[in-house]
Amino acid sequence: YKGIAFARLGNTQFAQRALFRSLKLATEIGHKALQADAQAQIGQLMAERGESEKAISRLEQALAIALEMGDLLRTMTLAGKLGSLFLGMQSLDKAADYYAQALHTAQQLKLPRPESSFLIGLGNVMLANDEPDAAVEQYETALTVADNLDDGHAQIAALTSLLRAYIAAGRQSMVQLYGDQVIRIAREQGEPLAEITAINLLVDFLLAQGHAPRTVAYAERGLEIARAKEDWGWQLTMLSHLGSAELALQHWGDALAHFTDALTQAQQLQDEAAQAQLYGRISAVLAAMDRFPEAIAAAEKALSIAEVIDDKRLIGEQQVLLAFAYYDSGEIELAVACCQAAISAYAALADEPGVEKVRTLLAELSTKQ
């Protein structure tokens, strides 16, 4: 208990010391349950520090003890934790095995809440393995279990998972259906984080599908939640969404205002990658407003930040935006030079589709020289 308390206080050094002392004493007196619990807590501590392989070793030792004791509850909990760790490491076969073990044990114990959770875990493995249809089957079963329990939290988890799966499958009608459903239930349950997470997934998808008019109300609700929670990160995300929607709708003034507000949030968060992306979007808006000198200045600022953080993909994107800004202002030679620099950036990433897109643009610009 002392080790757990130290861990919750964030003092990992003292926590580890206490937990190893606990394990030593439990081993000396032959107390299997306490050995399993100490190993599990040590594994959890290592997982939180990002030491996944060490964490797995500890948790597997704890699981072996639980199986030896015939302790189904500990077996279920430990197998579930191992499933999550292996999923995080993209070891999908192992993750599936442990989630299946946890699920089977939950069903033996007749515990529907963990059963729903482990069904979602199995679905997550299938989704990571690019099998959205198989994932949907697991998530729908999890939702049925949650509905039978009338458990709002479990329903939200299953519905959010279904939303992710249908996004991966590109099923627009189902994305809209489950997006609206999880947003409604999360709001009814007073779960703002779940609501804004679902809003973000839905808006991302709709923007990518070219349905900007339908995203504005969702993003405005997301911004309302973010401001109420005083969460700068979510404010940045929702302001960016609103800017993108207004840009697609050719509402240049509103788009510029939202992107500028988002840039302020990115600067407060010291998120340089977001700053570079936002300067690029601001450049696109300014160019659309025929404010070419300002558009070029914004694009150059974006490129400067991308080069400082040495993000090759971001450099390529900003070089392309700068090429457009130069082209719109009549500086064709500079636009061509930017395209050539973008090709170099994408080539360094071995991104052939990116290289081909810029080569196509370069060929068009070369005819203008």
Higher pLDDT pick, 329 / 22:
22
- C-alpha–C-alpha distance, residues 325 and 338, integer Å: 10
Identify the residue whose tokens are 């897109």. Answer: 357
CA 53, CA 286: separation in Å to the nearest integer? 50
Q: Which residue has the tokens 């600022």?
A: 301
A 10 A CB-CB count for 205 gives: 21
The rounded mean pLDDT for the chain is 94
| Predicted structure pTM score | 0.87
Least confident of 20-34, 159-173, 187-201, 305-319: 305-319
Q: What is the rounded distance in angstroms from the CA atom of residue 154 to the CA atom of residue 283? A: 43
Which of 334, 350, 341, 293 lies closest to 319 in space, CA to CA? 341
* pLDDT of amino acid 369: 58
* Residues 173-189: tens digit of each pLDDT: 999 999 999 999 999 99
CB-CB contact of 26 with 35 (8 Å): yes
Asked whether the predicted pLDDT for residue 368 surpasses 70, the reply is no
341-359: b (≥16 Cβ within 10 Å) or e? bbbebbeeeebeebbebbe
Q: How confident is the model at residue 101 (pLDDT cuts 50, 70, 90)?
A: very high
Instruction: Look up residue 344 and give its amino acid.
Output: S
pLDDT for 324 beyond 90: no
Contact between 58 and 82 (Cβ < 8 Å) = no
